[in-house]
């Protein structure tokens, strides 16, 4: 019993020794919980979600299509950019916007006729980034109410619809050979359509999102086109997950290495290094290089498996791919050194490194699709070097972009790595604890 | 004061001071070491020996004072003059996960031994400390004594001419300890300059020609071993140890104090310690008086005065229990 209590007391006393680690231990879970809770909806109040990027191309330019465009623009679910078709395709291909819609010429006319004749239905092209299936389905679902309300709005605002109906009625009345009974039926249905439009005028203003009746055929068809640069390239979910997971593993190993460096410093071997004609620069450079090599080996193994067993291909530039991997290794290695330099003790470094790495991975988009983040988090995400790296790997693998797509991410990773290296250089103390 | 007064000074410390917070670990230490000398730095734990070594090897910057290696101050971490130094740290400085050969290979490279010469340097260092047959075993599997020997070998790879040995035998079995002594004696014979810290005076007595005694960050004595002995024994004096047949009578102290030229007298039950000025005259007189008083002697021994006594005299404290 006494020894049991003695063990407990000793452990707690040891545990309480490292104040810095202690603060992290208690603070970090709270901060992380608050942070992740915020990401996943907070207290159920109107958490402000960030908008889904959407490019719209209106080749029709009619009142109806403009109504649909306006319906999307007014919906805060989407961040709409209206542009031409080539630009829209470019944006989606490069992964800058997850989804896009192209409304064809004659959209509104065909839409009205499509109500009665299924072969006249207009084809709306849905462009999407194959790694954003969620956004694509969401958009496809939202298209129905948007078209209904947008077309109605567009028509009602200028009374084009009723004008069309009026012209229809004229045509029907002029048609000589139409049997009287059919003439009456058509005129009746036009009158009903007219009344329907009239009723939409008032109800649309109140409920903007009435789903189209599911049992009726839609008055348009959707042609969904996944966009990647290379003709044969197909989206490969493994490409993305291997990028994310290998980076995750590399960063975990870096935590270990940072802690190991401090443990090594506490051991006598550093005294020997100090006594030798060796500079701190050589020491740090040596450490950084070995960490980078360890990181590189992880990436090489991961992608070798991804390519041989999971069909991952470099559809973009090999040079770009290698450049991104090397930049990530540089970034990871200097991150380890900076963490060790800032943490100073093994325990504190672990406490610091774990949340840093989790946030880097989380916000880098390794785990959760970024569109569910609140917009302020998305803004922060844009600053995550891990995110640059993962996106750049995506660009070189399944997206098949050319090498220019990695210039910026690689430059960013190198810049941040250099900054971290600078921090390590300034702050790392290589004389360990007491010598006796 | 030096035994090798003609050899050049290879290491000079002038007024070194180093504090850790409020504690002054080294408080104005000055000494010189000449080429080929073998100097013992003797002092109790916490005296400042390791801190002094750390300053000499550039691990710690002195708060004040000056250090000259071969007449020049260390200018940077990479100063090539550091190659003249070999440090055997007090704490084992080895990578336990790696085998002995890789450990030494790494330290040789760090010391600037050329790549082509490393295998030979490692081989001869291992042979020197008698670990050739364990070269490819993980250091973690070594006994404490073997690790100490490897710790010594790691300082020899670049063939430095000044060796700083910080308690190289601490916590080792007698066998390894003798092996390390033999190694150090051999290094001395090869003309290396040795600076050796310990709190075991037997080591200093066995290995050094000169002794610097440190206490609480200050030098309390710096002299040749012979002279320090002389000083402690006040001439060719000796320490007599007598074991009596019966517990000593009260009157014994008075009887012994009456003898001319007698030093300190300590009596504890049957055991008696007497410091005398001269071994021959002193011992015959002491034994004569005991016989006169009818006090039976079971055993008798005489020792020349040792550094323990010198330390006691200089600091008023014993070396071991401070
Ligand atoms: N890094 C350090 N931080 C704080 N105090 C130290 C440090 N190194 C040594 N000391 C203190 O300085 C004094 C001298 O230590 P040291 O030089 O190791 O003594 P020795 O080697 O003679 O046993 C001791 O009181 C010790 O506690
Ligand atoms: Mg010491």
Greater model confidence, A28 or B81: B81
CA-nearest of A103, A108, A106, A104 to A143 is A103
Six-digit token pair at B40?
């013992």
Percent of chain B with pLDDT over 70: 92
What's the pLDDT at B169?
86
- pLDDT, one tens digit per residue, over B22-81 is 999 999 999 999 999 999 998 888 999 999 999 998 888 899 999 999 888 887 888 888
From A207, A226, A245, the end of a domain falls on A226
Greater model confidence, A184 or B208: B208
**Residue A434 beta carbon below 6 angstroms from any ligand 1 atom:** yes
Using the predicted structure, report yes or no on whether residue B7 has a pLDDT greater than 90: no
**Residue B45 beta carbon below 6 angstroms from any ligand 1 atom:** yes
Residue A436 resides in a domain = no
Using the predicted structure, report yes or no on whether residue A37 has a pLDDT greater than 60: yes
* Greatest mean pLDDT range, A115-119, A141-145, A256-260: A256-260
What's the pLDDT at A212?
41
**Chain A contact present for B22, CB below 8 A:** no
DSSP per-residue letters across A21-46: HHHHHHHHHHHHHHHHHHHTTTTSS-
Using the predicted structure, report yes or no on whether residue B206 has a pLDDT greater than 60: yes
Using the predicted structure, report yes or no on whether residue A151 has a pLDDT greater than 80: no
- Residue A235's Cβ-count burial label (10 Å; 0-12, 13-18, 19+) is buried
Least Cα separation, residue B106 to chain A (angstroms): 10
- Same-domain pairing of A410 and A388: yes
What's the pLDDT at A197?
66
Q: What is the arithmetic mean of pLDDT over B287-303? A: 87
Q: What is the arithmetic mean of pLDDT over A130-143? A: 81
Which residue's alpha carbon is at the smallest distance from atom 11 of ligand 1? B25
Chain B residues closer than 8 Å to A267 by CB: 91, 93
What's the pLDDT at B128?
96
CB pairs under 8 A between A and B: 75
- Does residue A328 contact residue A295 with C-beta atoms inside 8 Å? yes
B9-230 with B238-304: one CATH topology? no
- Give Cβ neighbours of residue B37 (< 8 Å, ≥ 6 apart): B2, B3, B4, B7, B193, B194, B209, B210
Using the predicted structure, report yes or no on whether residue B164 has a pLDDT greater than 90: yes
Using the predicted structure, report yes or no on whether residue B3 has a pLDDT greater than 60: no
Selecting from A269, A280, A434 the residue whose C-beta is nearest the C-beta of B93 gives A269
Of B110-114, B245-249, B300-304, give the lowest mean pLDDT range. B300-304
* Greatest mean pLDDT range, A24-28, A199-203, A225-229: A225-229
Q: What is the arithmetic mean of pLDDT over A159-188? A: 71
Whole-number Å distance between alpha carbons of B43 and B317: 11
Residue A139 resides in a domain = yes
CATH number of the domain encompassing residue A72? 3.40.1710
Whole-number Å distance between alpha carbons of B157 and B106: 10
Please tell us whether the domain made up of B238-304 is placed in CATH 3.40.50.1820. Answer: no
What's the pLDDT at A132?
81
Q: What is the arithmetic mean of pLDDT over B112-121? A: 92
- Same-domain pairing of A346 and A390: yes
Using the predicted structure, report yes or no on whether residue A67 has a pLDDT greater than 60: yes
- Does residue B201 contact residue B306 with C-beta atoms inside 8 Å? yes
Which residue's alpha carbon is at the smallest distance from atom 1 of ligand 1? A434
Of A11-15, A51-55, B173-177, give the lowest mean pLDDT range. A11-15
The strand pairing partners of A125, in sequence order, are: A102, A223
The count of domains in chain A is: 3
Residue A432 resides in a domain = no
Model confidence band, residue A32 (pLDDT cutoffs 50, 70, 90): low
Whole-number Å distance between alpha carbons of B130 and A126: 78
What's the pLDDT at B316?
66
- Same-domain pairing of A31 and A71: no
**Chain A contact present for B277, CB below 8 A:** no
Using the predicted structure, report yes or no on whether residue A41 has a pLDDT greater than 60: no
Taking the centre of ligand 1 as the mean of its atom positions, its distance from the CA of residue B51, in whole angstroms, is: 6
Average pLDDT of chain B is: 87
| A64-91 per-residue burial string, b: 16 or more CB within 10 A, e: under 16 | bbbbbbbbbbebeebbbbebeeeebbbb
Residue A433 resides in a domain = no
- Same-domain pairing of A243 and A385: yes
Greater model confidence, A268 or B142: B142
Q: Which atom of ligand 1 is nearest to the CA of B45?
A: 23
Residue A435 resides in a domain = no
Q: What is the arithmetic mean of pLDDT over B269-273? A: 87
- Same-domain pairing of A118 and A243: no
Selecting from B50, B60, B87 the residue whose C-beta is nearest the C-beta of A431 gives B60
- Same-domain pairing of A142 and A270: no
Selecting from B50, B83, B107 the residue whose C-beta is nearest the C-beta of A272 gives B107
Taking the centre of ligand 2 as the mean of its atom positions, its distance from the CA of residue B52, in whole angstroms, is: 9
**Residue B48 beta carbon below 6 angstroms from any ligand 1 atom:** yes
Of A10-14, A253-257, A298-302, B181-185, give the lowest mean pLDDT range. A10-14
Residue A232 resides in a domain = no
Model confidence band, residue A158 (pLDDT cutoffs 50, 70, 90): very low
Residue A143: HSE in the Cβ half-sphere, 13 Å Cα cutoff = 26
- State the fold for domain B9-230: Rossmann fold (3.40.50)
**Chain A contact present for B98, CB below 8 A:** no
Model confidence band, residue A234 (pLDDT cutoffs 50, 70, 90): low
- Same-domain pairing of A20 and A106: no
Using the predicted structure, report yes or no on whether residue A30 has a pLDDT greater than 80: no
- Does residue A95 contact residue A394 with C-beta atoms inside 8 Å? yes
**Chain B contact present for A44, CB below 8 A:** no
Q: Running DSSP on this structure, what letter comes out for residue B72?
A: B
**Chain B contact present for A49, CB below 8 A:** no
Containing domain of residue A316, as a range?
237-427
Of A199-213, B84-98, B162-176, give the lowest mean pLDDT range. A199-213
**Chain B contact present for A274, CB below 8 A:** yes
What's the pLDDT at A214?
40
What's the pLDDT at A275?
87
Chain A residues closer than 8 Å to B94 by CB: 268-269
Least Cα separation, residue A27 to chain B (angstroms): 30
- pLDDT, one tens digit per residue, over B212-232 is 999 999 999 899 888 887 776
Using the predicted structure, report yes or no on whether residue A371 has a pLDDT greater than 70: no
Residue A231 resides in a domain = no
- pLDDT, one tens digit per residue, over A193-212 is 777 666 655 554 444 444 44
- Same-domain pairing of A263 and A370: yes
- Residue B246's Cβ-count burial label (10 Å; 0-12, 13-18, 19+) is exposed
CB contact (8 A) between residue B76 and residue A279: yes
Six-digit token pair at A47?
């958490």
What's the pLDDT at A269?
84
- Does residue A92 contact residue A100 with C-beta atoms inside 8 Å? yes
Greater model confidence, B280 or A283: A283
**Residue A435 beta carbon below 6 angstroms from any ligand 1 atom:** yes
- Same-domain pairing of A169 and A60: yes
* Cα–Cα–Cα angle for A223, A226, A231, rounded to 5 degrees: 115
What's the pLDDT at A205?
46
Selecting from A277, A282, A436 the residue whose C-beta is nearest the C-beta of B83 gives A277
- Same-domain pairing of A265 and A128: no
Whole-number Å distance between alpha carbons of B134 and B153: 13
Greater model confidence, A279 or B219: B219
Beta strand spans in A88-220 (E):
99-103, 123-128
Whole-number Å distance between alpha carbons of B58 and B75: 10
Of A135-149, A289-303, B36-50, give the lowest mean pLDDT range. A135-149
Model confidence band, residue A155 (pLDDT cutoffs 50, 70, 90): low
Six-digit token pair at A189?
């249905």
Taking the centre of ligand 2 as the mean of its atom positions, its distance from the CA of residue B50, in whole angstroms, is: 4
- pLDDT, one tens digit per residue, over A97-116 is 889 999 999 887 787 776 66
Q: What is the arithmetic mean of pLDDT over A38-65? A: 73
CA-nearest of A69, A140, A55, A147 to A98 is A55
From A226, A246, A275, the end of a domain falls on A226
Greater model confidence, A155 or A325: A325
Residue B208: HSE in the Cβ half-sphere, 13 Å Cα cutoff = 31
- Same-domain pairing of A145 and A180: yes
From A203, A226, A249, the end of a domain falls on A226
Q: Strand A78-82 and strand A123-128: pairing?
A: unpaired
What's the pLDDT at A282?
87
In the three-class reduction of DSSP (H, G, I as helix; E, B as strand; rest coil), residue A6 is classed as: helix
Q: What is the arithmetic mean of pLDDT over B185-206? A: 88
Selecting from A269, A275, A278 the residue whose C-beta is nearest the C-beta of B94 gives A269
CB contact (8 A) between residue A271 and residue B107: no
**Chain B contact present for A275, CB below 8 A:** yes
Average pLDDT of chain A is: 80
What's the pLDDT at A19?
73
Using the predicted structure, report yes or no on whether residue B313 has a pLDDT greater than 80: no
CA-nearest of A60, A34, A138, A119 to A371 is A138
In chain B, where are the structural domains located? Answer: 9-230, 238-304
Residue A44 resides in a domain = no
């Amino acid at each position: 019993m006494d020894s049991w209590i003695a063990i407990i007391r000793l452990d707690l006393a040891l545990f309480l020794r490292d104040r810095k680690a202690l603060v992290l231990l208690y603070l970090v879970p709270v901060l992380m919980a608050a942070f992740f809770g915020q990401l996943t909806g907070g207290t159920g109040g109107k958490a402000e979600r960030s908008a889904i990027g959407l490019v719209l191309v209106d080749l029709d330019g009619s009142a109806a299509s403009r109504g649909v465009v306006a319906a999307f623009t007014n919906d805060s679910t989407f961040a709409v950019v209206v542009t031409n078709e080539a630009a829209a395709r470019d944006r989606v291909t490069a992964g800058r916007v997850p989804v896009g819609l192209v409304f064809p010429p004659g959209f509104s006319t065909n839409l009205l006729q499509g109500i009665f004749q299924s072969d006249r239905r207009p084809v709306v092209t849905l462009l999407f980034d194959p790694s954003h299936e969620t956004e694509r389905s969401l958009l496809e679902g939202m298209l129905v109410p948007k078209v209904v309300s947008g077309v109605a709005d567009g028509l009602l605002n200028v009374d084009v619809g009723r004008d069309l109906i009026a012209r229809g009625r004229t045509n029907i009345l002029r048609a000589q050979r139409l049997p009287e009974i059919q003439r009456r039926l058509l005129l009746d249905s036009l009158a009903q359509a007219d009344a329907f439009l009239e009723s939409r005028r008032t109800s649309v203003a109140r409920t903007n999102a009435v789903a189209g009746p599911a049992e009726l055929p839609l008055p348009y068809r959707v042609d969904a086109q996944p966009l990647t640069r290379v003709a044969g390239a197909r989206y490969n979910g493994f490409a993305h997950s291997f990028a994310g997971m290998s980076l995750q593993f590399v960063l975990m190993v870096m935590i270990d290495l940072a802690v190991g460096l401090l443990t090594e410093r506490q051991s006598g071997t550093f005294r020997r290094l100090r006594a030798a004609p060796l500079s701190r620069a050589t020491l740090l450079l040596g450490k950084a290089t070995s960490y980078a090599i360890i990181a590189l080996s992880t990436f090489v193994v991961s992608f070798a498996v991804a390519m041989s067993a999971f069909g991952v291909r470099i559809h973009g530039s090999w040079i770009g791919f290698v450049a991104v991997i090397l930049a990530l290794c540089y970034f990871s290695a200097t991150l380890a050194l900076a963490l060790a330099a800032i943490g100073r003790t093994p325990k504190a470094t672990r406490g610091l490194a774990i949340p840093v790495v989790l946030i880097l991975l989380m916000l880098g988009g390794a785990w959760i699709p970024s569109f569910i983040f609140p917009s302020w988090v998305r803004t922060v995400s844009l600053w995550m070097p891990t995110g640059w790296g993962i996106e750049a790997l995506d660009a070189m693998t399944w997206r098949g972009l050319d090498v220019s797509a990695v210039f910026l991410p690689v430059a960013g990773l190198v810049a941040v790595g250099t900054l971290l290296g600078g921090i390590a250089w300034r702050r790392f103390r290589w004389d360990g604890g007491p010598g006796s | 004061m030096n035994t090798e007064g003609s050899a050049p000074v290879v290491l000079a410390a002038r007024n070194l001071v180093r504090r850790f917070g409020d504690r002054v670990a080294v408080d104005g230490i000055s000494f010189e070491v000449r080429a080929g000398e073998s100097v013992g730095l003797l002092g109790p734990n916490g005296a400042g020996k390791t801190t002094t070594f750390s300053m000499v090897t550039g691990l710690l910057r002195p708060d004040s004072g000056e250090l000259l290696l071969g007449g020049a101050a260390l200018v940077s971490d990479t100063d090539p003059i550091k190659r003249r130094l070999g440090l055997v740290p007090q704490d084992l400085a080895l990578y336990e996960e790696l085998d002995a050969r890789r450990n030494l290979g790494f330290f040789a490279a760090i010391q600037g031994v050329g790549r082509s010469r490393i295998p030979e340097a490692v081989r001869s260092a291992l042979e020197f400390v008698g670990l050739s047959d364990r070269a490819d075993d993980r250091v973690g599997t070594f006994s404490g004594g073997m690790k100490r020997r490897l710790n010594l070998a790691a300082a020899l790879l670049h063939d430095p001419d000044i060796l700083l040995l910080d308690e190289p035998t601490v916590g080792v079995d007698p066998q390894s300890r003798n092996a390390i002594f033999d190694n150090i004696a051999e290094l001395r014979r090869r003309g290396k300059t040795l600076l050796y810290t310990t709190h075991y005076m037997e080591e200093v007595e066995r290995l050094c020609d000169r002794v610097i005694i440190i206490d609480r960050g200050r030098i309390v004595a710096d002299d040749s071993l012979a002279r320090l002995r002389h000083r402690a024994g006040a001439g060719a004096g000796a320490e007599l140890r007598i074991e009596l047949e019966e517990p000593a009578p009260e009157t014994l102290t008075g009887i012994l104090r009456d003898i001319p030229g007698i030093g300190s007298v300590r009596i504890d039950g049957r055991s008696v310690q007497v410091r005398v000025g001269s071994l021959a005259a002193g011992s015959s007189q002491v034994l004569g008086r005991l016989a006169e008083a009818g006090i039976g002697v079971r055993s008798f021994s005489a020792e020349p005065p040792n550094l323990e006594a010198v330390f006691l005299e200089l600091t008023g404290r014993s070396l071991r229990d401070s």
